[in-house]
Homo-oligomer: A and B are copies of this chain.
Amino acid sequence: MASDMTTLIIETFRLNGELLAAGDRLVSAIGLTSARWQVLGAVDMTTVPLPVAHIARNMGLSRQAVQRVANALAVEGLLAFTENPHHARARLAVLTAKGRRVFEDAMARQRPWAEGLARGIGVSEVNTAINVLRSVREKLQTDAKPKEDQLHVLEKHA
């Protein structure tokens, strides 16, 4: 049903807004915002230091958006750029000691908060929701790039 899908879409918008607001509340005491927290997390997650443009791709955002936040984090000393032996311009983003400390503070706040959110909701329902959201997102992403698919088809014929 299209109307169910429409309901899901509207609910996704609303939940996204509430999550951002809640995330801001959660980490504002330690001088973070949701966006900065997410960038710190993306930098922390990598095993090897990466340039900002690479991190942006990992996050599914434009590199300019991440660049701006990363620069702000660097000004505040949470993140630093190290020289990249393979690329003179594309310096590598790494957490500073302070950045790692702040990020761990944020995660320590996030853990009990996420547990509280999950309380009362069945694990299988949550996983069903995750799978539905992922299916819809993947469909949107393939819709957005029909060109590449067509090229793949052409390659197969060639």
A47 within 8 A of B: no
Pick the interface stretch among A89-97, A114-122, A149-157: A114-122
Tell me whether chain A's interface is mostly helix, strand or loop, or mixed: helix
Q: A21-B144, A130-B7 are in contact. Are A115 and B14 (CB under 8 A)?
A: no
- Residues of B near A61 (CB, < 8 A) are 17
Q: A29 an interface residue at 8 Å Cβ cutoff? A: no
Per the CB 8 Å criterion, the residue count for chain A at the interface is 52
Residues of B contacting A143 in the complex (Cβ-Cβ under 8 angstroms): 22, 116
The 4 closest A-B pairs by CB, nearest first: A16-B16, A129-B132, A129-B129, A2-B114
> Does A11 reach chain B (CB closer than 8 Å)?
yes
> In A102-128, which residues have CB < 8 Å from any B CB?
110-111, 114-118, 120-121, 123, 125-128
Is A11 touching B118 in the complex (CB atoms < 8 A)?
no
- Rounded to whole Å, the gap between the CB of A4 and the closest CB of chain B is 5
Q: Are B6 and A12 in contact (CB under 8 A)?
A: no
> Does the CB pair B126–A22 fall under 8 Å?
no
Q: How many angstroms from the CA of A61 to the CA of B10 in the assembled complex?
A: 13
Query: Which residue in chain B gives the minimum CB-CB distance to A131?
Result: B125
Which one, B19, B116, B131, B135, contacts A13 given CB within 8 A?
Answer: B19
A136-B7 contact in complex given A1-B118, A22-B143, A144-B21, C-beta closer than 8 Å? no
A133 at the interface (CB under 8 A from B): yes
In the complex the two chains form, is A4's CB within 8 Å of B117's CB? no
Q: How far is the CA of A28 from the CA of B50 in the complex (A)?
A: 35
